[in-house]
Chain A
């Protein structure tokens, strides 16, 4: 009986195991190997073992700089705009409509990112907002292909992902704490700053981590709204793999990106989950 049931277990887990091993672990290992190799004459990979590719990372310093400044900034601004929205949904809206209204916030995230940023190309491009501003007398204002456009795009693209975790942390907040705070003479603002805000910070942290990770690996957003002027690590990777075909160097850049991400996740787990206990947040 036990032998048969463990055979069943093995059968159930084999397909996923095969996928994870051959399409995740093995490929990532190959990327690591490539990152120590050299570029072949015709592009692609030639075996080798040296740290040249890693030492050469500053050659793409601009991409790293843009990513590592605009991704945290974009995450922070998104959190700032998302918080009042999450608060409104969790506290002000009647429970009957809450879920539906939350789904309405999340839905755009699951539709084509390509098309949504294409729409922003039109809105921020010369025939969009700048032409309305010109009508008001502000001439020659360039928005698209600037860091501002990328920031607006970040808020737009990731608001749907930032609101739900904050909403969850606000919704399960024990309302009696606020009553107690009011009974003890705290003003609504003082109650918010001293009770609500600290208790909702884990939600803000979860949302921020999700957004930060996705923003760091983004390609479409900087490609469409940064227009080749404000480029991210993702744009450097597409160039290195599909245009200039320097795969070993590209592999080193990819590894650096993954390393930064895992450090972020590590600190998140250590400081946020460690303090507040495990919080599971539904992504869908």
Chain B
């Protein structure tokens, strides 16, 4: 059993190690080790297309994470205050947003945006000589939709484990509702909001399929990686990949550590 587990860990991590390993290869062909070199890192980060794609992806992921963390938290707080139909409706919407596959989200938002543009652009052109197009904002909008659901689930899990008596005590001591929120509720929720922010960032930074449909002419890092893999091997991709993998592992470990520590504190209190 112990050996089986070791085998599974190797199975899960060997491909990742392969990419990181070959990012230090001095040769330019996959699976053909020529010796150690850092040249592909230098080449990757002096390639303006890669730098541009990285900037685009960071902009999208940062904005998505910020908006999702805020809106997801507001939604979780709002849902605490309602019951019945509204609550069921939102529950259903959250699960639909998570369950509908990314490719369908990509397609439906693409169609919806195109339909919208066809309707409003003639008016906008006539009135202000201006038109709306696919861009970073369409990707952000589609990513936020999914991540609101993720953040909301995380924050609600935290709210349901929260000790109500703290809120009551605060009210008994004549704190205003806003004061109670700022001094009691928000600090308790911060870990799950932060974890939600990091997960949203990771999701958005790595999403390929939704961006593939709604990015228009913009190239995100995953789209760049996808098209270079399709065109044939470019050894720079291993270097970019190693950086991306390292970043997402760091973010994940951070999110996990925050959640673990706060759970322990909650139980200890």
Interface residues of A (CB under 8 A from B): 5, 8-9, 11-13, 15-17, 19-20, 22-28, 30-31, 34, 44-45, 81, 84-85, 87-89, 92, 99, 103-105, 107-108, 110-116, 118-123, 125, 127-128, 131, 156, 159-160, 213-214, 216-220, 224, 234, 237-238, 241-242, 247, 250-251, 254, 257-258, 261, 265, 282-284
Q: How far is the CB of B1 from chain A (nearest CB, A)?
A: 5
The reply to whether A242 and B15 contact each other, CB–CB distance below 8 Å, is no
CB of B110 within 8 Å of the partner chain: yes
A-facing residues in B175-231 (Cβ within 8 Å): 195, 199, 202-203, 206, 208-209, 212-213, 222, 225-226, 229
**Binary CB contact string for chain B from 105 to 121 against chain A (1 if under 8 A, 0 otherwise):** 10111111011000000
CB of B174 within 8 Å of the partner chain: no
Known: A111-B249, A214-B101, A241-B213. A88 touches B1 (CB 8 A): yes
The one of A116, A119, A217, A242 that contacts B213, using a Cβ cutoff of 8 Å:
A242
The interface residues of chain B lying within 8 Å CB-to-CB of A234 are 101, 103, 209
The reply to whether B199 and A110 contact each other, CB–CB distance below 8 Å, is yes
Name the prevailing secondary structure of the A interface residues.
Answer: helix
- Distance between Cα atoms of A23 and B100 in the complex (Å): 12
Residue contacts A-B, CB under 8 angstroms, 10 given: A13-B75, A15-B75, A24-B96, A30-B112, A31-B111, A107-B252, A114-B225, A116-B16, A123-B18, A282-B157
The interface residues of chain B lying within 8 Å CB-to-CB of A84 are 1, 4
In the A-B complex, the 7 residue pairs with the closest CB atoms:
A217-B101, A12-B78, A119-B15, A27-B108, A27-B112, A127-B31, A13-B78
The reply to whether A127 and B111 contact each other, CB–CB distance below 8 Å, is no
The interface residues of chain A lying within 8 Å CB-to-CB of B141 are 19, 23
The reply to whether A85 and B249 contact each other, CB–CB distance below 8 Å, is no
Q: How far is the CB of B182 from chain A (nearest CB, A)?
A: 14
A-facing residues in B24-77 (Cβ within 8 Å): 30-32, 71-72, 74-75, 77
Q: How far is the CB of A173 from chain B (nearest CB, A)?
A: 17
CB of B154 within 8 Å of the partner chain: yes
The interface residues of chain B lying within 8 Å CB-to-CB of A156 are 11-12, 15
The interface residues of chain A lying within 8 Å CB-to-CB of B212 are 238, 242
The reply to whether B222 and A112 contact each other, CB–CB distance below 8 Å, is yes
CB-based nearest B residue for A21: B93
The reply to whether B209 and A13 contact each other, CB–CB distance below 8 Å, is no
The one of A30, A108, A219 that contacts B13, using a Cβ cutoff of 8 Å:
A108
The reply to whether B99 and A261 contact each other, CB–CB distance below 8 Å, is yes
Please indicate which of the listed interface residues B1, B15, B30, B82 has the most CB atoms of chain A within 10 Å of its own CB: B15
- Distance between Cα atoms of A237 and B212 in the complex (Å): 12
Apart from A24-B105, A84-B1, list 14 A-B contacts with CB within 8 A.
A8-B81, A24-B93, A27-B109, A110-B199, A113-B208, A114-B208, A115-B19, A119-B16, A119-B18, A127-B32, A214-B101, A234-B101, A254-B104, A284-B195
The reply to whether A19 and B103 contact each other, CB–CB distance below 8 Å, is no
Q: How far is the CB of A252 from chain B (nearest CB, A)?
A: 12
The interface residues of chain B lying within 8 Å CB-to-CB of A127 are 30-32
Q: How far is the CB of B150 from chain A (nearest CB, A)?
A: 8
